[in-house]
Amino acid sequence: MNLQDSNPDLLKMPDVQSSEDTRHIAIELVGIRSVRYPVMWHEQGQTPQGSVAEFSMMVSLPAEQKGTHMSRFIAWLEDHSQDLGAHNMVALYQDMLTRLHAPQGELSFVMPWFVHKTAPVSGLKSMMDYQMGWTISGPADLVATELEMLVPVTSLCPCSKAISDYGAHNQRSHVTLRVKTLAAHNPIGAQALIDIAEKQASSELYGMLKRVDEKQVTERAYDNPKFVEDLARDVAAGLIALKQQDRIAGFCVKVENFESIHNHSAFAQISG
C-alpha cells in the first residue's frame, strides 16, 4: 500500500492511487487499522501519562478517486502521538482530514489507562488498569467526539443473596461507558466516568488489598447486590444527570458480568 508524492525522484513512477476510478462507487471509510504507537496523553489537571495506543485512521474517498495515501496517516502519528489530549483532539482530527484532502473520516484509538488507587482501609497505593478509547468522526466543521471507558468492577447477585441461607455469587464485571463529549466549559474526562461506574458497582477493584481491605470490599459487595440490569440502570442514571447538566450529549452503557455460576456472561445495555 502506498502513495502519491511530490518528491521529484518519484515523477517517473506510476501513481496508481491518484488515477481516476470509473466504477462510480464512493468509499465511506478507507485507511489503516491495528497500528500500535507509543503515546503521551494529556488529561486535564494531571501529569501527562505515557501509554501504548492502537489506532484506526480512516477517511472517506470520492467515487472518482482510485486510492487514498496511506503513509500520511503514519506521518500524522509521527507528528502528534506525543501530544494527545481531549483539548486538541478536534484540531488533530481536522489536521488528519487536511493531510488526506478528505471532507470527513474517523479517527479512533484505545489504550490502557492507569490510576494510582488507594486501598480503602490500609491506604496502600497500587495501579489499577482501565481502558480508554476515543472516536473522532464526521465532517471537518461538525466533528463528533466520543469517549469510552471500560471499568472492571465486582457485581454480586441479589437473587443469589435473597434465596441463599448464606453467601451470594459474585464476579468480575466490565462496565463500558461511552459518551458523546461536548466542548464544554467543564468537559467530561476519564476519571468522572470511572467514578460513576465504581460508585454504582457492588464493589470496585484494586491492584493491591491487605486483609483489612479485603474484609471491607467483601462486605461492601454483600451489602450492595446488583443485577446486571441494576448496574446498567444505576450507571445510566449517573449519565442522564451528566446529560441534563449539558456535560455530555448522549451515552451508551454496557455491563457484562462474567458469571461465576455459568460459563457465559450476563449483559445489559442502555442508551440515552
**Interactions with a copy of itself, residue window 17-36 (CB under 8 A):** 17, 21, 23, 25-36
Report the site for a copy of itself in 166-205 (rule: CB under 8 A): 166-172, 203, 205
Q: Site for a copy of itself (CB under 8 A): which residue of 92, 94, 230, 249?
A: 230
Q: Which is nearer to a copy of itself, 50 or 103 (CB)?
A: 50
**What DSSP string describes 169-191?**
-EEEEEEEEEEEE---SS---HH
Binding to a copy of itself by residue 163, rule CB under 8 A?
A: yes
Minimal distance, residue 71 CB to a copy of itself, in Å? 5
Residue 227 in grid coordinates:
443485577
Binding to a copy of itself by residue 262, rule CB under 8 A?
A: yes
Binding to a copy of itself by residue 44, rule CB under 8 A?
A: no
Which residues on adjacent β-strands are paired with residue 65? 20
Separation of alpha carbons 115 and 104, rounded Å: 34
Q: Which is nearer to a copy of itself, 183 or 208 (CB)?
A: 208
Binding to a copy of itself by residue 43, rule CB under 8 A?
A: no
Separation of alpha carbons 141 and 138, rounded Å: 8
Separation of alpha carbons 141 and 103, rounded Å: 9
Residue among 156, 150, 87 at smallest CA distance from 115: 150
Separation of alpha carbons 29 and 56, rounded Å: 11
Binding to a copy of itself by residue 133, rule CB under 8 A?
A: no
Q: What is the DSSP letter of 20?
A: B
Contact region with a copy of itself (CB under 8 A), list: 85-93, 158-166, 182-190, 191-199: 158-166
Minimal distance, residue 183 CB to a copy of itself, in Å? 28
CB 35 within 8 A of CB 74: yes
Site size toward a copy of itself (CB under 8 A) is 114
Contact region with a copy of itself (CB under 8 A), list: 85-93, 97-105, 192-200, 213-221: 213-221
Binding to a copy of itself by residue 88, rule CB under 8 A?
A: no
Separation of alpha carbons 176 and 193, rounded Å: 9
